[in-house]
Amino acid sequence: MRKSIRAGWISAALLLILLVSSACTAVPAAAPAASEAAAEESSAEPARLVVAQSVDVQGLEPSNVNSRAESNIFQHMYATLFEITASGAIVPYLAESYTVSESGMEMTFKLREGLTCHDGEPLTAEDVAYTFQRAADDANGFTGNTAGFVLDAIQYQDARVESDLEVTIVMGRYSSPALGLISEAYIHCKDSYSAMSLEDAAANPIGSGPYRFVEWVKDDYVLLEKTPDFTLREVAYDEIQWKVIPEASTRTAELIAGNVDIITNVPPDQHEAINNSGNAGVTGVAGTRRMYVGFNQRAMFDDSEGGQAIKNTAVRVALQYAVDVPTICKTLLAFECERASSMVNPPNNNTNLVAYPYDPAKAEELLDAAGYPRKEDGTRFDITFMAGRGRYLNDVAVVQALAQYLTDVGLNVDLQVMDWGSEFVPALRAHEVGPLYFVGTGGGTWSAVYDMSDLSAPTAATNYTEWNNAEWFELWDQLSDARDPESEKVITDKMLEVMYNDPPWLFLYFQPDFYGIAGDVNWQPRRDEIVDLTTASPQ
Amino acid sequence: MTTYLVRRVLQTFVVILGVTLLSFFALFLAGDPTYLYVSERATTEEVAATRAKLGFDRPIHEQYGRYLVGLVTFDLGNSLRSRTPAFELVLERMPATLELTLFAILFATLLAIPIGILSATRRGTPLDGGIMLFAMFGQSMPSFWLGIMLILFVGLGLRWLPISGHVPVLEPLLSGDLPKALANLPDALRHLILPGVTLGVFSLARNARLVRSSMLEVLSQDYVTTAKAKGLSRFTVVMRHAFRNSLIPFVTIIGLEFGFLLSGVVVTETVFSWPGVGRLVFNAINQRDIPVVQAAVVMFSLLFVLLNLAVDVIYTQLDPRIRLS
């Protein structure tokens, strides 16, 4: 008995040691063999590009795409009528041309001939109309970008088939960004989708783009392969694997180890490790997200010193000089940025406007002149500054720096950093953050009006400041009469000048985006956060 | 025994009801979930329309009532994000989480027992001091830090083990594909070691201390002195007479351990990109995907309660003096 107990323990210990050691030694033993085999068969194996993002898709329903991480994958599976290029141009894709009716409320698209969906069915005007009708059908309950934003933004009324290759989108009003917005709708074929339940459709994507769906292992990866007969794109990789790696340092380790080719959202503190690895490098681009401090001018803040003060245009202008934006970018975001002079992304901005420089002495002088001198305790007025935590690049450090800059010119800042999802967003949407708040709103490279639509009305959902400059909104109304880019540009430039002189925001920077890219991959990231891998190729 | 079991099963229902009630209202305390399902440019009308689509416009007690009716009929609703049945989502990820937690429990248990015994039988020696120092470190290290250190040194530096990812074994096994499960096993083990160790180190350290103190207490009992006086070998005294009795507090903790490890998998699964329930729930909480959170809560509660019931039954086998009633 005694012997059997002792033998049992020894056996268990040996088994454990054996399991652990065999597992640990498996890699060095197998790796060379695997790499040799891979080298021998490299000509036969498909070229695979592995990309790691932080979040998985929630489903594979093209009308329910809710995040950039999802749309990055979907845009490779689904084509759109037109597409927005990296430089912001809107160019034909599935459609070869479009016309706008005299009223400006109908856009008719002419499709290219010979298009097919991934199920082999011809892609016709009926499929395009079905895409919009399906997204707009309340019974489907979609809340994604197409259903929840694009259709509302263009005031979608109907989609009408004119012929096999012509389809008309009917809108509630003319809107110059309509073409760009419609270019966000993923076109899918009626035959397959009308035959599927919503649950089946969310698991079996049948696309129309350069890559087709192969496999989705939830919370692990999505695998796509090149669509053999897709002629609208030349792509270099046979397969793209979108891996989900939530933790940034794990993504970095996988990139350095050579297990992934591209990683997104690289935090500044990991740039050095990647750049020094010899296997990969970090590429940063100034994104299109406009980061700013809003001056909320709602009456609910009137009973506070700060709420009263920021109603004064002179105070809002003075505070523009108080903040050293390039230093914030350099030290906290590891990026050499230029300060924004308006809410519009280059190249659509008013180039005559020069960003406010950092000049704290001038800020103090202007605050004195505005009637807010320093009091005996050295402060000018108390003000609350609200921000969410964890949404933007190094957001907490940035707001702390901003609060310090404002303190330096005499403001007594009460910085309140809140949970992003549960506290800050509901208050922001209700326009109840402030009087100062830090936020970033998405923009684009393709339309000044699109960027400016945050402030389409004094009570617009995204006009969190409820800024109400009469001249701005008069000019906004004039935009609907401007049907050519030149006359639109004259108006938008004028509007941006109005905003510059009566700022509703403390203009900061366009948030940089950082990507880690393996040394053997040729790929240039875009400014608009879209990860377009059709332009990637082996080095 | 039967009466006891029936009573415990009835208590299980009450516990699950209480847990679902708390988690349901806690999610609503964290703000209106509708805002997470609309574009940042959505108008007030669009927000209201989405709220109605998602059913959040109904009174909260009505929403909870509907949920309970669904629970009774095993229909926990669809995920608000993915549109697939919430319970299926949880079940899909459960094998990966079970693999991880079972590995961590095995790691923490199989090593803790010999380490704890060794430490107790060598009390006061440098070996005992070293083991207790390790135990203190093991309980002090945050799992996310340990995970990242293991990735950097073992995964990236030494290249001994994979940095992240998962190779399934339980999932093919449960679906009847034994050859695939066996073929995956070696690679699955390689992928399991780093996250399993990360998850299990705290438990290993705590269990080793527990076994040590329990063993020391038993070793000071009169019957152990008698056994020694009879001339029995040290091994026999420890393993035959002291070991079994020292296990009672350890078995208690094993039942709770499972719940503890399940709560710890969120961090470990995130660091190692492990596609389990922990990450699913973490994302669902962030997105206020209430059906998914509730499905996971029900599943975890059920597992936890049943495991503790099993532990109570095992008690009777370990210690004949204990009778369930």
pLDDT tens for each residue of B175-199: 899 999 999 999 999 999 999 999 9
pLDDT of A11 higher than 70: no
pLDDT of A42 higher than 90: no
In this complex, the residue of B79, B159, B273 whose CB is nearest that of residue A246 is B273
Average pLDDT, chain A: 89
pLDDT of A316 higher than 90: yes
In this complex, the residue of B83, B189, B283 whose CB is nearest that of residue A19 is B189
- Cβ distance of B93 and A152 shorter than 8 Å: no
Is residue B57 very low, low, confident or very high in pLDDT (cuts 50, 70, 90)? Answer: confident
Contacts of B42 in chain A (CB under 8 A): 148-149, 152, 461
The verdict on B232 touching A (C-beta cutoff 8 Å) is: no
Contacts of A460 in chain B (CB under 8 A): 43
Q: Which of residues 293-322 of B touch A (CB under 8 A)?
A: none
CA distance B15 to chain A (A): 27
Residues B181, B99: Cα–Cα separation, whole Å: 12
In this complex, the residue of B165, B193, B279 whose CB is nearest that of residue A246 is B279
Among B2-16, B29-43, B278-292, the range scoring the smallest mean pLDDT is B29-43
Give yes or no for a contact between B242 and B224, defined as CB atoms under 8 angstroms apart: yes
- Cβ distance of A257 and B93 shorter than 8 Å: no
Omega prior to B320 cis, within 30 of 0? no
Outline where DSSP puts E strands in A296-410: 381-389
Residue of B nearest to A146 (CA): B39
* This prediction's pTM: 0.82
Structure tokens at A130: 């079905």
- The pairing of strands A106-111 and A156-163 is unpaired
Among A252, A302, A299, smallest CA distance to A277 is for A252
Contacts of A31 in chain B (CB under 8 A): 159
The verdict on A453 touching B (C-beta cutoff 8 Å) is: yes
pLDDT of A256 higher than 50: yes
Q: Which of residues 146-165 of B touch A (CB under 8 A)?
A: 148, 151-152, 155-156, 159-165
> Which residue of A422, A433, A450 to mutate against B (max B Cβ within 10 Å)?
A422
How would you class A466 by CB atoms within 10 Å of its CB: exposed for 0-12, middle for 13-18, buried for 19 or more? buried
- Cβ distance of A28 and B280 shorter than 8 Å: no
CA dihedral A115, A118, A121, A126 (to 10 degrees): -70
- Cβ distance of A247 and B271 shorter than 8 Å: yes
pLDDT of B40 higher than 90: no
Among A234-238, A426-430, B94-98, B255-259, the range scoring the smallest mean pLDDT is B255-259
- pLDDT, position A211: 97
The verdict on A47 touching B (C-beta cutoff 8 Å) is: no
CA distance A54 to chain B (A): 9
The H-assigned helical ranges of A175-278 are 178-182, 190-194, 198-201, 248-256, 271-275
- pLDDT, position A37: 44
Across residues B203-228, what is the average pLDDT? 88
pLDDT of A311 higher than 70: yes
Give yes or no for a contact between B31 and A425, defined as CB atoms under 8 angstroms apart: yes
- pLDDT, position A490: 96
- The pairing of strands A156-163 and A436-441 is unpaired
Coil, helix or strand for B153?
A: helix
The verdict on A1 touching B (C-beta cutoff 8 Å) is: yes
Give yes or no for a contact between A340 and A328, defined as CB atoms under 8 angstroms apart: no
CA dihedral A6, A9, A15, A18 (to 10 degrees): -80
- Cβ distance of B190 and A259 shorter than 8 Å: no
pLDDT of A465 higher than 50: yes
The verdict on A5 touching B (C-beta cutoff 8 Å) is: yes
- Please list the residues that pair with A161 across neighbouring strands: A167
- pLDDT, position B64: 83
Q: Which of residues 360-389 of A touch B (CB under 8 A)?
A: none
The verdict on A136 touching B (C-beta cutoff 8 Å) is: no
The verdict on B36 touching A (C-beta cutoff 8 Å) is: yes
- Cβ distance of A28 and B159 shorter than 8 Å: yes
Residues A239, A227: Cα–Cα separation, whole Å: 10
Coil, helix or strand for A350?
A: coil
Which stretch of DSSP H or E encloses residue B86? helix B86-121
- Cβ neighbours around A80 below 10 Å, total: 20
The verdict on B59 touching A (C-beta cutoff 8 Å) is: no
Residue of A nearest to B115 (CA): A13
pLDDT of A29 higher than 50: no
Q: Which of residues 431-450 of A touch B (CB under 8 A)?
A: 441-442
Give yes or no for a contact between B211 and B250, defined as CB atoms under 8 angstroms apart: yes
Contacts of A149 in chain B (CB under 8 A): 39, 41-42
- Cβ distance of B151 and A441 shorter than 8 Å: no
Contacts of B78 in chain A (CB under 8 A): 199
- Cβ neighbours around B288 below 10 Å, total: 24
- pLDDT, position B58: 84
In this complex, the residue of B193, B275, B288 whose CB is nearest that of residue A217 is B275
The verdict on B32 touching A (C-beta cutoff 8 Å) is: yes
- pLDDT, position A308: 95
Q: What is the DSSP letter of B142?
A: -
Residues B288, B293: Cα–Cα separation, whole Å: 8
Across residues A343-354, what is the average pLDDT? 95
Coil, helix or strand for B214?
A: helix
Per-residue pLDDT tens over the stretch A420-442:
877 888 888 888 998 999 999 88
- Cβ distance of B46 and A1 shorter than 8 Å: no
Q: Tell how far CA A112 is from the center of its chain.
A: 29
A332, A440, B66, B67, B152 from A509: Cα distances, Å: 12, 9, 47, 45, 34
- Cβ distance of A421 and B30 shorter than 8 Å: yes
In this complex, the residue of B36, B44, B81 whose CB is nearest that of residue A461 is B44
In this complex, the residue of A19, A58, A461 whose CB is nearest that of residue B81 is A58
Under 8 Å CB pairs connecting chains A and B tally to 170
pLDDT of B143 higher than 80: yes
Contacts of A419 in chain B (CB under 8 A): 30
Residues B41, A460: Cα–Cα separation, whole Å: 8
Average pLDDT, chain B: 84
Beta-carbon contacts of B176 under 8 Å, excluding residues fewer than 6 positions away, are: none
- Cβ distance of A145 and B39 shorter than 8 Å: yes
Contacts of A247 in chain B (CB under 8 A): 148, 270-273
- pLDDT, position A62: 92
- pLDDT, position B31: 66
- pLDDT, position A167: 97
Beta-carbon contacts of B321 under 8 Å, excluding residues fewer than 6 positions away, are: none
Among A290-294, A374-378, A410-414, B284-288, the range scoring the smallest mean pLDDT is B284-288
Contacts of B270 in chain A (CB under 8 A): 246-247
- Cβ distance of A6 and B93 shorter than 8 Å: no
Residues B172, B174: Cα–Cα separation, whole Å: 5
pLDDT of A185 higher than 90: yes
Q: Cα-atom radius of gyration of chain B, to the nearest Å?
A: 24
Among A135-144, A212-221, B164-173, the range scoring the smallest mean pLDDT is A135-144
Across residues B142-161, what is the average pLDDT? 91
- pLDDT, position A169: 97
The verdict on B195 touching A (C-beta cutoff 8 Å) is: no
Residues A488, B148: Cα–Cα separation, whole Å: 52
pLDDT of B41 higher than 70: no
In this complex, the residue of B40, B93, B190 whose CB is nearest that of residue A441 is B40
Residue of A nearest to B281 (CA): A219
> Which residue of A21, A57, A196, A218 to mutate against B (max B Cβ within 10 Å)?
A218
In this complex, the residue of B31, B160, B236 whose CB is nearest that of residue A24 is B160
pLDDT of B81 higher than 60: yes
- Cβ distance of B93 and A219 shorter than 8 Å: yes
Is residue A259 very low, low, confident or very high in pLDDT (cuts 50, 70, 90)? Answer: very high
Give yes or no for a contact between A323 and A405, defined as CB atoms under 8 angstroms apart: yes
- Cβ distance of A219 and B276 shorter than 8 Å: yes
Residue of B nearest to A150 (CA): B39
- Cβ distance of A26 and B83 shorter than 8 Å: no
